[in-house]
Structure 1
Amino acid sequence: MSVETGRITTDIPARLDRLPWARWHWLVVIGLGTVWILDGLEVTIVGSMSDALKPHDTGLGMSSFDVGFAGSAYVAGACLGALFFGHLTDRFGRKKLFLVTLGVYAVATVLTAFSPNPAWYFAARFLTGTGIGGEYAAINSAIDELIPAPYRGRVDVAINGSFWVGAAGGSLLTIPLLDPNVVDASWGWRLAFGLGAVLAVGILIVRRHVPESPRWLFIHGRGDEAEEIVSDIERTVEEESGKQLDDVDDTITIRQRRTIGFLMIARTVTTLYPKRTILCLSLFIGQAFLYNAFFFTYGDTLSTFLGVKQTGWYLAVFAASNFVGALLLSPLFDRLGRVKMISGTYILSGVLLAGAGIFLGDFSAVTLTLMGSIIFFFASAGASAAYLTASEVFPMETRALCIAFFYAVGTAAGGISGPLFFGWLIDRASADKDITAIAIGYFVGAALMVAGGIVEAFLGVKAEGKSLESIAQPLTAEDKDQGEDDGPGKRPLSPAPTPA
């Protein structure tokens, strides 16, 4: 039930968006953005150690299907965790939840390291996923509400792309940890999971210094706290940049509420913004199937069909290409615009993936990895922009839950079915050692990516350089028009200047 506490006219969004980039923003990036490194570490460790988990004596006696099932369990946990913690994030604030979800992840990954049997391992992977899924909702909303509008696109895409820093690190870590001459085979894979918890503790120490979102605070009846936080940020940025900040004229009037009803949130997604809902679903389903199907099982593909005993080097090269793609292409999402870049990266990567499927039988381990690196150089930037889109195009009160909803639905459709589908294809094809039998998975992923790119071309939102409140005004803003076709409202905030 929504409880109105009063009205407030505030210039806080405009003040945050006019800030120059300073060291303080790096605190936000490091404290919050490193969650994707954890996710990349988790996914890659699982993909790299499929062989280590299969022996009954040193592993857990798992089949290729079991490896795929574990990946699906992780993704299922992430979907449910995103929805559960996403709702709590919109209700109780960004900071409380991005501390809680990181704690859930740390505990669950330690439980994974101590798995005595496959059932325990599946359950621990599910719980690990719930923590990571909750992180996606809490972190994306907090980052976009704290980063100035001219930098939001590049920062969000690059941060989401940092998943691949963790992926590369996880790949390289598994090389010594899975070498029986260095570490006992029964302990190596367990140590790999335990290292994730160590990294999580380090992130938690930094994250404690990141403030609550002032945008969340002033909507939920805590305007004085929001003002105090923004004033402190302004003082810090002026000291760090050596620049005197200009005054702002843009304001917005909000009907403050302590809680926002779930029915109001659901109505926003399904009724007020149906085109944006279709857009986000298309982007998330395409990238989720592509990545979860390909990457969760890539190590298994290399070892089963191409005779690779140590997959870590191949996965590290693949991961490095993904991160470099997101990093180098991220500024173009602010300069050329969201629609051109998202549709272009989705369609191009889909076409290239289809080509890889056609010639799959001709690839060696090296050339398949090289082709994958080219494909995902573009795909990683587009996939990262899916999270950017969901966090930008819906009202403030629904932001975290909308991210969670689209992540959960898209990932459930593509991320749960993908690893199971590819695991089944690999098991079926392994008897004949015929890698071409898994090409159908490449074609499905390619079709979904191209479809997502086409939807973006027609329904994409030109959000570059604009304040969040002008893209989608808060539900509690006064004098607003409702609906995506009517514009942002009668009292839009002026968009921030587009960076050169």
Structure 2
Amino acid sequence: MATTFGKINTKIPARMDRLPWARWHWLVVIGLGTVWILDGLEVTIVGAIAGRLTEEASGLNLTSADIGLAAGIYVAGACSGALFFGYLTDRFGRKKLFIITLGVYLLATVATAFSFNAIYFFICRFFTGAGIGGEYAAINSAIDELIPARRRGVVDLAINGSYWLGTAFGAVLTVFLLDTSIFAADLGWRLAFGLGAVLGLVILLVRRNVPESPRWLFIHGRNDEAEKLVGDIEAHVEEHSRTTLDPVSDDKTLVIRQRSHTGFIEIAKTAVTRYPKRFTLGISLFTGQAFLYNAVFFTYALVLTELLGVPDDVAPWALVPIAIGNFAGPLLLGHFFDTVGRKPMITGTYVGSGILLIITALLFGGGHLDAVWLTVCWCVVFFFASAGSSSAYLTVSEIFPMETRAMSIAFFYAVGTGLGGIIGPILFGQLIGDGIQAVTFGYYLGAALMIAAGLVELFLGVKAERQSLEDIAQPLSAEMPTVSK
């Protein structure tokens, strides 16, 4: 369709927010949310097969430090991909980029299955991470802009929590693929990456039916296309819910000056000078959760096998109950982020998980936990930490203007994950070689970062529950934009 730029009046955000939940919303959830299953699968596969990859028979013969380095490289790729594809998402649209980024993931993960040395493996992990990192920006943007405000919190947390379904699937999958009585030592781990690509291809086929964000369309000069899309969505919802939608009042009208794109300078200026407190909040939330998760889960199989004597083919089973606890947290607590509110729930989950981690570290360092009880402790810690971690993505995706949303997600993910997610796995890879007391120190560090992030939320958090995105942060394209804290 033709693209023209001018000043328009639109009620599209209010029309989208007043929609009752319908079959159409499930299409969005399934089409977009399933990417986190892929991320969980990727992280778990590498963590679960870590012991196998250090064996000479694997064909790679990596060291423990190499495993930590590979994890750091994967995260570095995710950070780079988030920034690169995040900018393109704001400029060229949500749909175009969430198709492209999934394609990058598919190619890279297939290539990983054919790794023949450490360098090639590292390169493949970088580009696999780049595809997944790009997904974060495109998908979170699209989800928030397509889901009604009153359910944005619970849906966003549940979708981000689906990461742990991938973790559980990956853990069970690797148990069988690492069984040398079924698959050769240099074949099973390669099949794991290949099966991840098959799952990604299925998701790609489903995702083709998810539409572009109408909010992105009307700001970028495609208002007629946005109006038609929302009209079709409303007709679909009315037909399947058998209800007649109420008209939207005139006071919900936005006056927008359309634009082709938003430059890097304006994006940076918006985050740092217009929303300095929100900028600090985003950095804090992402750094805390990224260090904790990437440090623990990229190296947990090594903790079990090298420090607690768990066999290589048994260690992946420990990830299944932990994954269940992680998925249950956002699923069961997500509703309260929309009712009790963002600030108390985010603060509570961050600080609470930090305190529980300190207790776990004390018991682990004192020699009171074997593999079973350490896993039980992680289930409890991550029940709360997972809800907090998912809320970090929710927070940065809703507290900045629409024109910068994808880039904001990408930036905070890249910086926070760069600080916590790259340093964490590499540090823990070294700490494992130094023994239990060294790993215990790493756990204390992770707890401190989570508690600190929770306190930042307490003082700087935004009450965004059940509010329209445009009320939380008025679009830069809107006339007479207000200045928020």
Bin the TM-score by the shorter chain: over 0.9
Q: Distance in 1 between matches of 2:34 and 2:59?
A: 30
Q: Deviations over 1:383-425 (max 9, x none)?
A: 0000000000000000000000000000000000000000000
Secondary structure, aligned partner of 2:411: helix
Q: Tell me the equivalent position of 1:348.
A: 352
Q: Tell me the equivalent position of 1:330.
A: 334
Secondary structure, aligned partner of 1:254: strand
Q: Distance in 2 between matches of 1:326 and 1:259?
A: 34
**TM-superposed deviation, 1:358:** 1.2
- Flag structure 2 segments of 5+ consecutive residues without an equivalent: none
Q: Distance in 1 between matches of 2:59 and 2:424?
A: 24
Q: Tell me the equivalent position of 1:497.
A: none
| Contact residue 54 and residue 61 of structure 2 kept, 8 A | yes
Q: Tell me the equivalent position of 1:112.
A: 112
Q: Tell me the equivalent position of 2:277.
A: 275
Specify which of 347, 360, 370 is matched with residue 376 of structure 2.
Answer: 370
- Shifted more, 304-313 versus 78-87: the winner is 304-313
**TM-superposed deviation, 1:5:** 2.1
Runs of 4 or more above 3 Å deviation: none
Q: Distance in 2 between matches of 1:57 and 1:338?
A: 50
Q: Tell me the equivalent position of 1:498.
A: none
**TM-superposed deviation, 1:225:** 0.5
Secondary structure, aligned partner of 2:5: strand
Q: Distance in 2 between matches of 1:49 and 1:200?
A: 20
| Contact residue 59 and residue 116 of structure 2 kept, 8 A | no
Q: Deviations over 1:420-464 (max 9, x none)?
A: 0000001222xxxxx222101000000000000000000000000
Q: Distance in 1 between matches of 2:102 and 2:96?
A: 10
Q: Distance in 2 between matches of 1:261 and 1:322?
A: 37
Secondary structure, aligned partner of 2:187: helix
Specify which of 255, 258, 263 is matched with residue 257 of structure 2.
Answer: 255
Q: Tell me the equivalent position of 1:266.
A: 268
**TM-superposed deviation, 1:481:** 2.1
Q: Distance in 2 between matches of 1:270 and 1:368?
A: 41
Q: Tell me the equivalent position of 1:126.
A: 126
Secondary structure, aligned partner of 2:181: coil
Q: Tell me the equivalent position of 1:304.
A: 306
Given the two structures, how large is their TM-score scaled by the length of structure 2? 0.97
Q: Deviations over 1:253-299 (max 9, x none)?
A: 00000111221111101100000000010000000000000111001
Q: Tell me the equivalent position of 1:5.
A: 5
Q: Deviations over 1:355-394 (max 9, x none)?
A: 1111112110000000000000000000000000000000
| Contact residue 343 and residue 457 of structure 1 kept, 8 A | yes
1:395 maps to 2:396: no
1:182 maps to 2:182: yes
Specify which of 315, 319, 339 is matched with residue 315 of structure 1.
Answer: 319
1:425 maps to 2:427: no
Q: Where do residues 16-27 of structure 1 align in structure 2 (5 Å cutoff)?
A: 16-27=16-27
Given the two structures, how large is their TM-score scaled by the length of structure 1? 0.94
Secondary structure, aligned partner of 1:36: helix
Q: Tell me the equivalent position of 1:36.
A: 36
| Contact residue 168 and residue 319 of structure 2 kept, 8 A | yes
**TM-superposed deviation, 1:312:** 1.6
Q: Distance in 1 between matches of 2:58 and 2:399?
A: 49
Change (3 A) 1:163 1:35: same
**TM-superposed deviation, 1:4:** 9.0
Q: Distance in 1 between matches of 2:10 and 2:58?
A: 61
Q: Distance in 2 between matches of 1:112 and 1:70?
A: 12
Q: Tell me the equivalent position of 2:438.
A: 437
Q: Deviations over 1:162-213 (max 9, x none)?
A: 0000000000000110010121111000000111100011000110000000
**TM-superposed deviation, 1:220:** 0.5
| Contact residue 4 and residue 258 of structure 1 kept, 8 A | no
- Shifted more, 177-186 versus 369-378: the winner is 177-186
| Contact residue 37 and residue 166 of structure 1 kept, 8 A | yes
**TM-superposed deviation, 1:354:** 1.0
Q: Distance in 2 between matches of 1:325 and 1:205?
A: 29
1:477 maps to 2:478: yes
Q: Tell me the equivalent position of 2:450.
A: 449
1:204 maps to 2:204: yes
Q: Where do residues 380-391 of structure 1 align in structure 2 (5 Å cutoff)?
A: 380-391=386-397
Q: Percent identity?
A: 63
| Contact residue 4 and residue 255 of structure 1 kept, 8 A | no
1:409 maps to 2:415: yes
Secondary structure, aligned partner of 1:253: strand
Q: Tell me the equivalent position of 1:228.
A: 228
Letter in 1 for 2:409: I
Q: Tell me the equivalent position of 1:54.
A: 54
Letter in 2 for 1:266: A
**TM-superposed deviation, 1:58:** 2.3
| Contact residue 4 and residue 222 of structure 2 kept, 8 A | no
| Contact residue 52 and residue 59 of structure 1 kept, 8 A | no
Q: Distance in 2 between matches of 1:110 and 1:379?
A: 32
Q: Deviations over 1:327-371 (max 9, x none)?
A: 101111001000010000000000110111111121100000000
| Contact residue 70 and residue 125 of structure 2 kept, 8 A | yes
Q: Distance in 1 between matches of 2:40 and 2:448?
A: 25
Letter in 1 for 2:479: E
Q: Distance in 1 between matches of 2:310 and 2:374?
A: 12
